[in-house]
Each structure stands twice: as structure tokens, then as C-alpha cells.
Amino acid sequence: MWKARPEEKPSGSAAPAPSTTTTNASPAAATSSAASANALAPASARPAFAPPRQADSFRAEVAHIGKSVLIKGELSGSEDLYLDGEVEGNVDLKQHSLTIGPHGRVRANIRAREVIVHGKVEGNIQGDEKVELKKSAVLVGDISTQRITIEDGAYFKGAIDIQKEGKSQSGDTRRELSMSATAG
């Protein structure tokens, strides 16, 4: 994070070279060259710090549940979620992505646009667009999605239902269709 210091050291090590020339130059020239060297160092340090600020604004768009957090009940939201804690119940992030971290333990049915699993899940997953099981993933439950990726080393026990593009209907819509069909 503090990469500006190594950049300052080379400018500081370059300072002895101007000091040998300053013996022949006036003190005002030495002061202006030192000021210009200091003016260049912060300017070169600013671009190095600009990308982390942009990354911080990206992080603000992703909610984070740490590994010491336990949630019992229904979890829903309107932003992307990184879950590294424990959840028991239901997780509903309809139009957003859910990433279950390596310490994540979920005993719930999951519904999200995109689900990426690094940890352990006991329950069904409905990923409207895609589901990814990373090599450290353990999933016991069924998957319903348009696209799926299972890495070597991942453990999966259950069924996979591949949905056609455009036919991905929510369970609520399916129930409404079946109820309206039986109602008449």
C-alpha cells in the first residue's frame, strides 16, 4: 500500500549527485532542483494510488459478510454479495451475484443471477444465468441454471437442470402459471 516510499528513496539517493553539482552552483539553484525533485515524487505517487481508490468504489457495490457472522433466517438484497460466514435459511438475490467464499457455510436454498461457490453449500441453487463450483466447493443439492462450470476437485452431489436462454422463469412465476392453469 505504501509503494510511494521506495520511489522516494531513489530520488533521495539521486540527491547526492545534485549536491556534488551544487558546490559549483548557487544555493538558489540547489533549492529549486530539490523542490522540483519533490514536486515530481508526489506526482508519480498519485497515479500509483489512483487504482486502489477506484477499487474501493467497486468494493462499495459488493456487500461482504465476514467469516465470524452467523445468519439464521431469510437473506435478501439488491446488491452483489460476498459471503464468507454461515447462513441457515434462504438466500434471495434475484438480479445480483452471490459469491460464497472459502470459509462460507450455507445451509439454505439460494436464488441469484450468478452463484460462485468456493465453500460449502447444503441446499438447492437456482442461478438465473450461471453457477460456478470452484475446486474447493462442496455442494449437496440440486442446481438449476443456464450455464454451469464445475472445476476439477469440486464435490457435487445432486441433479442439474439446464434452463434454455429466455425460459428462465422464477419459481413464483411457475407457481402462478400452474395455479392459473388449474383454476380454469
Q: Is residue 52 part of a domain?
A: no
E-state strands within 53-178: 62-65, 70-76, 80-83, 86-100, 105-117, 120-122, 125-133, 138-140, 143-150, 155-157, 160-162
Identify whether residues 14 and 70 lie together within a single domain.
no
Q: Which residue range(s) make up the domain with 149?
A: 62-169
pLDDT at 61: 81
Residue 24, pLDDT above cutoff 50 = no
Q: Is residue 155 part of a domain?
A: yes
pLDDT at 23: 44
pLDDT at 60: 53
Work out how many domains the chain is built from and give that number. Answer: 2
The grid cell for 7 is 520511489
Residue 182, pLDDT above cutoff 50 = no
Q: Is residue 175 part of a domain?
A: no
Identify whether residues 90 and 159 lie together within a single domain.
yes
Identify whether residues 43 and 67 lie together within a single domain.
no
Q: Is residue 134 part of a domain?
A: yes
φ and ψ at 10, to 5 degrees? -60, -35
Identify whether residues 40 and 75 lie together within a single domain.
no
pLDDT at 167: 54
pLDDT at 25: 45
Q: Is residue 174 part of a domain?
A: no
d(CA 49, CA 43): 10
Identify whether residues 73 and 159 lie together within a single domain.
yes
pTM (2 d.p.): 0.59
Minimum mean pLDDT range among 63-67, 132-136, 137-141: 63-67
Identify whether residues 70 and 40 lie together within a single domain.
no
Identify whether residues 124 and 164 lie together within a single domain.
yes
Identify whether residues 81 and 16 lie together within a single domain.
no
